[in-house]
Structures are given as structure tokens and as C-alpha cells.
């Protein structure tokens, strides 16, 4: 698969993991050892090492994405009672130290899609994602100053609801402050009507209204100079003339026009809402998706 990813022109993988991966008692599931005999007996960090080694050999970079605390739990916040914030930060520091000097791993996507009670800039240590991201980001940079620190948005800001992880409205008044400011990257997630039928998909001026929606919630940051913006997730099943397909193609054109980088969700076909670049046989690519994405791909990163 890594070879296929590289051959299709993708230069970076956003690699999801859970903190459970590093539990010695946690055993890997779902690996076809007939196709991957070299993975037999490996678990935890050794499996991640093997993926990163393979990506690096092909010139593909990796962003580590702390997706969830455990494989069966997706909480609204970046911590739980069983996985406190201190554990979340400690695992990030461990990874930063482990991959220090490894040119393949370029960044840390600190936590996937803070939502629900998550706030931005209000100073509440239990919910203020901006505060937690600063603490974790600076701890990571102390261990590995070469990494990019990727900070996603939240779901709602002052009553304005958006996609989980996609609302960065608060970052203008309350920017993230890191010890290495040039390592900060803001990240938004954006989806279409197959995930949820947001009001802007029913607007009379759709899709011409979309750029204003994106500017309001995340794209403005790049223009006001608060830091680069990266769309860490977007995707959907259709690239046709339906609302989903029009939204996807409009977003890719918007990203290209505004010089905004992205990683696409997802490579694998078993993402319920979006499907993947691969079709259900896990081999054949969805050419309609590739045709749209190929219009805006960057060359290999050095």
C-alpha cells in the first residue's frame, strides 16, 4: 500500500494512532500476516516504526495523528478519566524523542477533533483546547524542535457550531503561542452533506456560498497572518454532480487557489461516511477521486 500511495503522487501520510497502541498488553488486530509476514510478532511502537520506515524509503513523509485515547473510545475532549492530560502529553514527548532526527516524521497533530464542551481561549483548564495545545505543543518542541505542531479547531465558538475540529474562529483573538512560533500549523476538518446536512448545503447560492463559510471558520487565519492553515481531513463518496461531489470539487479548487495544503480522508475504504481512495477490494483506486485530487498535489517534500 505504501508503494501505491507514493506512485499515486501523495507526499504525506497522516497516520492515526491511539494511546492504547503503547500499552504492552494491547495486541494488534486485523493484520493479514499472510500478506505482511514481516509484521508478525510486532506490536506497539515497533509497528509504527515499520510503517514510518517504509514510508521514508519511498520519500513519503508522515504526520502523526493522535486520533483517540483507545481503539474503542472517541471522547469529546483530548483526555479522559482513564487517560488524563498528563498521559496524553507524556506519550507525545515519548514519540518526539523517539523520532528526533528522523526526517520522515514531520509533525504532531496533537488531538483529533476536539468537540462538545471543548472551548477556545476561555482559560478553563478542563475545556480550553487552545491552552492544552500550547502546553502539549511546547512539551513536544522541547523534546524535538524540528516537528510541526498541528492544532485543530473545535466544534463551536460563542454559539457558532461547525464541523468537529473545524472551528478556528477563536484563534484570531486567542492565538496559540509556542516556544517556536514558526512550527505552528492550524488545522481544520471539513465535510460534506453525506456526513451531516449543514444549512449551507441547502443555500440558494450553493456552491458560491462555500468560500465565505470556509473563510469565516478557518481559511481567514492564513490571510491575517496568524499562521498557515492545513485541512487535515475532508472527503466523501461522490465526486459527481450531486451536492457532495460539487462540495468536494469546490473545496479542492479553493485549497488550490489559496495555497492551502491537505490530507484526504481516507485511504482505506471502510470509513463509513466517506469511503476511501481505495475501493472495497482494498486494491483498486477510485479514479474519480484521484482525478479531482491530482489537480492539486505537491511534489515530494525534501
In this structure, the number of other CB atoms found within 10 A of the CB of residue 127 comes to 18
The closest of 97, 169, 185 to 133, measured between CA atoms, is 185
Cα distance between residue 137 and residue 116, in whole Å: 22
Catalytic residues: 113, 233
Residues 6 or more apart whose Cβ sits within 8 Å of residue 267? 1, 5, 13, 276, 277, 278
Task: Quote the Cα angle for 108-250-301, to 5°.
Answer: 35
Cα distance between residue 274 and residue 163, in whole Å: 15
Would you state the cell numbers that stand for residue 142, as one nine-digit string? 522541547
Cα distance between residue 251 and residue 258, in whole Å: 10
Upper half-sphere CA count for residue 114 (Cβ side, 13 Å): 28
What is the DSSP secondary-structure string of 221-235? HHHHTS--EEEEE--
In this structure, are residues 108 and 92 in contact, taking their beta carbons and an 8 Å threshold?
A: yes
Strands (E), the chain: 12-18, 61-68, 105-109, 148-152, 156-157, 160-161, 184-189, 229-233, 261-262
Cα distance between residue 195 and residue 192, in whole Å: 6
Would you state the cell numbers that stand for residue 204, as one nine-digit string? 440558494
Amino acid at each position: 500500500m505504501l508503494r501505491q500511495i507514493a506512485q499515486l503522487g501523495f507526499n504525506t501520510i497522516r497516520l492515526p494512532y491511539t494511546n492504547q497502541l503503547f500499552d504492552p498488553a494491547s495486541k494488534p488486530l486485523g493484520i493479514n500476516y499472510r500478506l505482511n509476514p514481516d509484521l508478525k510478532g510486532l506490536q506497539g511502537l515497533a509497528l509504527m516504526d515499520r510503517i514510518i520506515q517504509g514510508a521514508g524509503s519511498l520519500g513519503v513523509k508522515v504526520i502523526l495523528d493522535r486520533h483517540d485515547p483507545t481503539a474503542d473510545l472517541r471522547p469529546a475532549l483530548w483526555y479522559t478519566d482513564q487517560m488524563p492530560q498528563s498521559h496524553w502529553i507524556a506519550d507525545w514527548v515519548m514519540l518526539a524523542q523517539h523520532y528526533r532526527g528522523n526526517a520522515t516524521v514531520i509533525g504532531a497533530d496533537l488531538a483529533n477533533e476536539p468537540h462538545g464542551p471543548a472551548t477556545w481561549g476561555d482559560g478553563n483548564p478542563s475545556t480550553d483546547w487552545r491552552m492544552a495545545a500550547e502546553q502539549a505543543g511546547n512539551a513536544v518542541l522541547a523534546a524535538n524542535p524540528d516537528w510541526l505542531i498541528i492544532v485543530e479547531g473545535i466544534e463551536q465558538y460563542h454559539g457558532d457550531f461547525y464541523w468537529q475540529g473545524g472551528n478556528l474562529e477563536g484563534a484570531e483573538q486567542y492565538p496559540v503561542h509556542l516556544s517556536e512560533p514558526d512550527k505552528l500549523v492550524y488545522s481544520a476538518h471539513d465535510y460534506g452533506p453525506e456526513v451531516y446536512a449543514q444549512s449551507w448545503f441547502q443555500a440558494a447560492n450553493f456552491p458560491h456560498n462555500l468560500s465565505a463559510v470556509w473563510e469565516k471558520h478557518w481559511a481567514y487565519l492564513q490571510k491575517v497572518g496568524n499562521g498557515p492553515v492545513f485541512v487535515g481531513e475532508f472527503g466523501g463518496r461522490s465526486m459527481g454532480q450531486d451536492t457532495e461531489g460539487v462540495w468536494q470539487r469546490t473545496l479542492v479548487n479553493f485549497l488550490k487557489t489559496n495555497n492551502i495544503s491537505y490530507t484526504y480522508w481516507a485511504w482505506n475504504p471502510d470509513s463509513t461516511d466517506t469511503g476511501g481512495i481505495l475501493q472495497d477490494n482494498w486494491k483498486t483506486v477510485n479514479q474519480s477521486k484521484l482525478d479531482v485530487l491530482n489537480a492539486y498535489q505537491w511534489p515530494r517534500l525534501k
